[in-house]
Amino acid sequence: MTTNDDSSIFVGVDVGASHTKVAILNSEKRLVGHSVRKSGTDFTDSAEICLKSALEMANALGKKIVRCVSTGYGRKNVPFSQGTKTEIGCHARGCYHYFPMAMTIVDIGGQDNKVIKLDDKGRRLSFKMNRKCAAGTGAFLEEMSVRLEIPLEDMDALAEGAENMVELGSYCTVFSATEVLGKIRQGEKVPDIVKGLFFSVIKRVLEMDSLTDRVAMTGGVVAHNPYLVNMVEEITEREILVPEYPQLTGAVGAALFAMEEGG
Amino acid sequence: MSEEKKTTRRQIAAAKTLKKFMADYFYEMDNAAKTGSQKIAWCTSVGPAELLRGMGFLVYYPENHGAMLGATRMSTELIPYTNALGYSPDICSYLTCDVGSYIQKKTPLTMAYNIESVPRPDVLVFNTNQCRDVQDWFAWYSRELNVPLVGVYTHRDIGEIRDYEIKDIASQIEDLVPKLEAVTGEKLDMDRFKEAVGQSRRTSELWRACLEASAALPSPWTFFDATIHMAPAVVSRGTKEANDYYELLLPELQQRVKNGVAAVEGEKHRLYWEGMPIWGKLRALSEQFYSLKTCVVASTYCNSWIFDQLDPDEPFESMAMAYTEIFIVRDEPYKEQYITDCYNKFKFDGILFHDAKTCPNNSNNRYGMPERLSKKLGIPVLTINGDLCDLRCYSEEQAKTNIEAFIEQLEEK
């Protein structure tokens, strides 16, 4: 690790239950390198591979790292970090960096969701995480893509191309899967079912808390399914703010904390 | 950052005496069960213990056993045996783990005291002031062991307590007398009964004083300490021995206050715990809060064994009042005012609500109370999902992250 100068970089590592993300900021808070890969079973290994890849993208050397902060489910498994913050704190910090205003942040992750409310100074007023249930998370869509034999990456286009939407009433992922099979038997079209699955995710998230005027969405599900954001805009009748790299929001927040603590 | 910081919590010296106290309590009961030297009543934790003591019963509390099953983490593997009998995984996990313990003939008393089984009851006595589950729980044992079952049915969701409610409960307690006399074979000795009520009142005063020591800055002990040291107030109220214990504990706490000794070194944040303890995770949670320099200073749960109204001169009426005015029996406005009063006394800067999956009666987050209190008191609130004994309902990682994030939030203020 090095002392701070113009070529200094600050690293945020977000080891999520599903994916590991690394963000590298330069001393002007510009995102100069980033990387995403599945967290797998060895969080330490994933974090190291992601860092290497992000450093290559930033064309920077490890010795220029002033400080690294880790976050996410595996935040304690990053041996090269000097500090940890929760993913709630990092999503708030990262999102406020892009949108400095009072807002509600809705993060849809692989295994959990967060709804965080910030004041106009970026301070957390409240937060809620989903209960111990996969409904409304990326895991729900992953499970359904397997059941429907549709590649996960095809779901967004299918939902967008739907002519109608099949509404699913079940709360639970297992019950929803049974319900989906019933809809297939009834001859419902697959795109209409996929749009119904998106709607189910949105319902689960929106029932977690009330929304304020300004709403931002982050997380891997949003990154890979932009049509889901369009649906939220329609349902909530408001423009939804989305950072350039929604999946990296937590990692960017961690890098910003690294800068504040080490810069 | 590969390892979490290990912590060393400050020990309470009276804990050694407590250990012996609990051992003596269970050995006396075990001996009576084996020899028939004294009748044994099973009682719900806020049941009419003073009457039972006054009538010469030894009193055993299945809820205390449930808490021990939870704390030793035996509960989660025992619950499914009761589920298989038709008792839902969604009902009280004290009930389901305790019955599972009976079915499987496994009890933490064996490991702790080399006692083979819980003492066989001569009578089962409940009060529904906590919930309906207690009567179903005791009814199972009544059928299984062919033991008489008697109880008190308390009014629920009470705001202002009315005379007719107290008269009703007092007469229900009085109606227990002939049924209990049939078990003991002796007439109720009113002097002995009044003596037990007087002792219990003293237990309550001492226990209240111990809990209120946490109003000091910094707090001399934590909610997690209190969940252990409350045992005599639960299982032995109405006895001189319980009072002797608190006469020992209270000066230790007062001395800590006088010397500015903090239970949590460098206490930065103070929280209130609303809801049931998560028995199998007391240590883990205590250590997490310690490492976050946060002291959980007060709780509704530990306050539940304060019975200010007990009066030896009016034993039936005062018991009726004492066991009706407790938090769990009351309506939402009363509960909100109660926590507000605690806020003014204990000066905490956040409230943690435990939503216990199998204990709706003691999960006060479900009807918007956290949001209302947050707005009223201007402090943040957090709800964590878990359970008192069924650790299948608890996601430790998620709870830890929530707590850590909550403390981060307090630090942003």
What is the ipTM score, two decimals? 0.88
pLDDT score for B8 = 62
The answer as to whether B4 is a domain residue is no
Of A73, A76, A127, the CB nearest to B405: A127
Predicted confidence at residue A174, as pLDDT, reads 79
CATH number (domain holding residue A43)? 3.30.420.40
Helix (H, G, I), strand (E, B) or coil at B314: coil
Per CB distance under 8 Å, which residues of B are interface residues toward A?
1-4, 374, 380-381, 383, 385, 393-395, 397-398, 401-402, 404-405, 408-409, 412-413
* Residue (of A244, A247, A212, A216) closest to A232 by Cα position: A216
Q: What was the pLDDT predicted at A172?
A: 77
Domain that holds residue B309: 15-412
**Long-range contact list for A150-155, CB < 8 A, 24+ apart?**
A150/A190, A150/A194, A152/A224, A153/A224, A155/A194, A155/A197, A155/A198, A155/A225
Which DSSP string corresponds to B1-70? --SPPP--PPPPTTHHHHHHHHHHHHHHHHHHHHH-SS-EEEE-TTS-HHHHHHTT-EEE-HHHHHHHHH
Give dist(CA B55, CA B160) in Å, integer. 32
Determine the Cα–Cα distance for residues B356 and B93; give it in Å rounded to an integer: 10
Q: Tell me whether residue A96 is in a domain.
A: no
Residue B158 DSSP label? B
- The answer to whether the CB atoms of B405 and A82 lie below 8 A apart is no
**CB–CB of A36/A247 below 8 Å?**
yes
Mean pLDDT, chain A cut into blocks of 10 residues (263 residues total) = 75 94 96 95 94 96 95 94 96 97 94 92 92 77 89 94 90 82 91 93 89 94 94 95 96 97 77
Q: Are residues A221 and A110 in the same domain?
A: yes
Q: Say which residues have a Cβ less than 8 Å from residue A51's Cβ, sequence separation at least 6.
A: A11, A13, A22, A35, A62, A80
Residue B227's domain is classified under what CATH number?
3.40.50.11900
Q: Note whether A33 and A80 are same-domain residues.
A: yes
Q: Judge whether B1 lies within some domain.
A: no
* A137 and A219 fall within a common domain: yes
Is residue A1 in some structural domain? no
Instruction: Name residues of chain B where pLDDT drops below 50.
Output: 1-4
- The number of distinct structural domains making up chain B is 1
Q: How many A×B Cβ pairs under 8 Å?
A: 56
Q: What is the DSSP letter of A118?
A: E
pLDDT score recorded for residue B29 = 96
By Cβ distance, the residue of B394, B395, B408 closest to A85 is B408
Question: What's the pLDDT score for residue B206?
Answer: 98
Terminal alpha carbon distance of chain A: 12
Q: Which residue range is the domain that position A215 belongs to?
A: 102-242
Nearest chain A residue to B413 by CA: give it.
A123
- For A102-123, letters b (16+ CB in 10 Å) and e give bbbbbbbbbbbbbbbbbeeebe
| Residues present in chain A in total | 263
What is the pLDDT, as a whole number, of residue B75? 96
Residue B9, in any domain of the structure = no
The confidence score (pLDDT) of residue A136 equals: 77
- Which pLDDT score, from 0 to 100, does residue B2 have? 42
Please state, rounded to an integer, the average pLDDT across all residues of chain B.
Answer: 95
Radius of gyration of chain B from Cα atoms? 21
CB contact under 8 A, B1 and A73: no
Give residue A226's pLDDT. 95
Interface test with A, best of B354, B409, B410, B411 (most A CBs within 10 A): B409
Contact A82 B412 (CB under 8 A): no
| CA dihedral over B192, B149, B360, B409, signed as positive or negative | positive
Domain contains B70: yes
Give the C-alpha separation, B279 to B152, whole Å.
Answer: 27
